[in-house]
Structure formats: structure tokens, C-alpha cells
Amino acid sequence: MVFARHCLTAIPELVADRLPQDRREHVGNHIRACPRCRRAYTVELWTRRFAREHFNGAMPPDLESRIRDAIEFEDRRTRPRGLAPGAPVRRVLTGGLAAAAAFALWWAVWTLT
């Protein structure tokens, strides 16, 4: 079952375990059915795991939004016309994760100096 609206704004709450049970089930069902939201969920999990490992859980304020912006930009840039959002998922995740890792490394070095 595919829902008419995406659950992108609820995904961070889902990952942080702050959604009520009924909303949690709705968002979980949508993520399983929607490639775009499934990709956003994967990115959210990766971002939080990366923050825990490299920033002791407290990510710099704008890093998370920069990661999402980079992934969205890469998605728009690499999406062939006529394909649904989420079609080039592997390419988007690879490019986005590489950009995020490079930025995080730069940030870590910059904050230590």
C-alpha cells in the first residue's frame, strides 16, 4: 500500500523513537512501500550512527542539514528524466555518504585546530 503523502518530516522522530505507536506503524508501513522515504530513513539512520561515532552524539548544528542537502542535490543531479525519485538510490547514497564523510573529516580537523 502506497500512501499519498511522504513521511519525510516524521522520519527523524521515528529514528529517535519519539513517535506514538499508531503513527509509528503508519510511518513504518509507508517507509516499506516508498523508495524515497526508505532512502531518507536509511540516510537518517546512517547520519545518527555517524554522529554517535564521530561527535559523541552531538552533531554540529548545521551538519545534518548539509548532509541531507547534499544527498538531495545529488539525487536531483543524477536522476535521469522520467524515472521516479529514488531510482538511482545506490549512486545517490554513495555520493552523499562520500560527501558527508569528507565534510565530517574536514569538520573534525577544523575543530581540533
Per-residue pLDDT reduced to its tens digit, 34-71: 888 888 888 888 888 887 788 776 677 787 778 777 77
Q: What angle do CA 90, 84, 29 make, to 5 degrees?
A: 80
pLDDT tens for 24-34 read 999 999 999 98
C-alpha distances out from residue 32 to 3, 87, 112, Å: 11, 15, 41
The pTM of the full predicted model, rounded to 2 decimals, is: 0.54
pLDDT of residue 113: 64
**From CA 74, how far away is CA 30, in angstroms rounded?**
23
